[in-house]
Amino acid sequence: MIYPGGVVGYRNLQQCVADLERRGMLVRIEAPLDPNLEIGAVQRRCYQRGGPALLFTNPVNCRFPLLGNLFGTLERTRFIFRDTLDDIRRLVELKVDPFSLLKHPLDLLKAPCAAWHLLPTFSSRAPVMECRTTLSRLPQLVSWPKDGGAFITLPQVYTENPSKPGFGSSNLGMYRVQISGNNYEPDRQVGLHYQIHRGIGGHHAEAIARGEPLKVNIFVGGPPAMTLAAVMPLPEGMPELSFAGLLGGQRIPMARMEGQLPVLAEADFCIRGLVHPDRTLPEGPFGDHLGYYSLAHEFPYVQVEEVLHRRDAIWPFTTVGRPPQEDTSFGAFIHELTGPLIPTVVAGVKEVHAVDAAGVHPLLLAIASERYVPYAPRRQPQELLTIANAILGQGQLSLAKYLFVAAQEDAPDLHTHDVASFLGHMLERADWRCHLHFQTATTIDTLDYSGSGLNQGSKLVIAVAGPQLRVLGQQVPAGLEFPAGFGGARVCLPGILAIQGPASRQGRGECDASIETFCNFYGERDRFDGFPLIVICDDCDFTADTLNNFLWVTFTRSNPETDLYGIRSLTRGRHWGCQGALVIDARIKPFHAPPLEDDPEVERRIDSLAVKGGPLEGLV
């Protein structure tokens, strides 16, 4: 879609806000709302309605306006970056197929213009350096009732390699920043929570090895391109500042400070400080994007030296929680930009989908080639297993917990984003005696509490290839009986049955004897013909009610190493499988983090403002 009359990117957040408001894509909310729970709840509800960006101009106990839901729809995100999308797609296409220049040689003339934007500019003055404030005067945004304090939810954390300073070795990442609460010294310390496999980790490790503190700048606001660049999965060696320039359609202006890291000139806020070696403090809890609280753990913190801001500063924010949320639009937009590159990174891969409804990292779906023995009378997963290992060796993809891989040759029209059809294809062909491949005692997402410890858990690769083996059932088997403590069954999808079980009492890293009893109850009298997958859950009606419920419950509440069982299970050598249905224990365990729930009093307050004639009418 072509949008007339646009500028070439936005130099700062103020330009973006003015443009969106002029076009009816942003609404000002002048009613006094509290950053403690109320503003975040309004933003989430507005997102669910597909609503506009929101500028809260009169937040309680805060002088700075807050901007929420900026990227709340994919269409609005595309609009914000409308002037540069063709350039980015052209460069992606060249990466995928350099011979495309032979078909469109004039594109080569445009490439140097886009490449010029990869280089930031440097000066000694900047709008962000005009004013100073303190942490306690920043918006104290608390998103969920059990959060441990106020957090920056759209931070851009900038560091450079201590051994090789300069923007060429820089990292810009969106790492969680807690600005109040816990044991942090007020106005002097902020928590810095970064997950494993993040770019900042290398810089931090280098600083520790040198025995010196790591310099950190935390930007908030500025050009929208900087926010997106901070979450982009960029190739090794490409600075996020360069991508932000490319996406924003102009070189990113930075300001030098003597003896310090450069600051983003057009940022709305900048928190400067140091991360000292081997110093940590408890950070969290925080309601996170898996739909649960990430609990308090020891993480590094920044000893704050100063807080800078521009005179007309705006505080952009989002709130996260059980998907879909605003970060879902981030993910969809990123996939549009980077999806064509996946086959160039892992040979043989057609597409990969990190399933947002399952919390992103818990579930990956992939389609790849199976060409190792094309002369064999029956196709079996062989190349798929090589490709699966390659996928699990790629950056953030390495944190995946479940990876389902299908052979492209079996269904050329299959796509991973049609999740229901993809799972149906897998289950029609799955042979649980040989298609399950475990990795145990390995790393998983820091935010995932289903494993054996922080960052610790297991992975399961399910790779299928070959002809259809069964017809999937679509109705609960007639006369189905249950062992004691189990009862109630619903069909989630063809071939997938949710069965309600007793409350889990298992310990971390343990299996549950009650699920073994369930499997043994059926034994040779397996009644699950047509249902190769059974999910044991706390509430079968909730689990089966929607596809998103099934995905969320099943893949965020299970750890393959301890929560997979099978009817008529068998072990050959060290390979485990089963002859009957595969059983996933997806009940909430005693050691799991609690799920996120809205504050009823806050919800009633928002409802009262959303009545006809109220300040939130039509928005929530």
Q: What are the residue numbers of the active site?
A: 288
Residues 187 and 208: their CA atoms lie apart, in Å, by 25
Residue 441 contacts by C-beta under 8 Å, 6 or more apart in sequence? Answer: 452, 456, 458, 561
Size of the chain, expressed as the number of residues it contains = 620
User: What 3-state DSSP class applies to 155?
Assistant: strand
Task: Write the CA distances from 467 to 270, 431, 462, 568, 579, integer angstroms.
Answer: 58, 11, 16, 23, 18
In DSSP notation, 496-537 reads EEEEE-PPP-PPTT---HHHHHHHHHHGGG---TT--EEEEE
Residues in Cβ contact with 520 at an 8 Å cutoff, skipping those fewer than 6 apart: none
Task: Reduce the DSSP state of residue 541 to 3 states and report it.
Answer: helix
Q: Quick one: 115 exposed, middle or buried, by C-beta within 10 A (0-12, 13-18, 19+)?
A: middle
Q: Which amino acid is at 565?
A: Y
334-342 — which CB contacts under 8 Å span 24+ positions?
A: 334/228, 334/231, 334/232, 334/233, 337/88, 337/89, 337/92, 337/232, 338/92, 338/232, 338/233, 340/92, 340/93, 340/96, 341/92, 341/95, 341/96
Centre a 10 Å sphere on the Cβ of residue 350 and count the other Cβ atoms it contains.
18
**Cβ count within 10 A of residue 309:** 25
Q: What is d(CA 228, CA 174) in angstroms, rounded to the nearest whole number?
A: 9
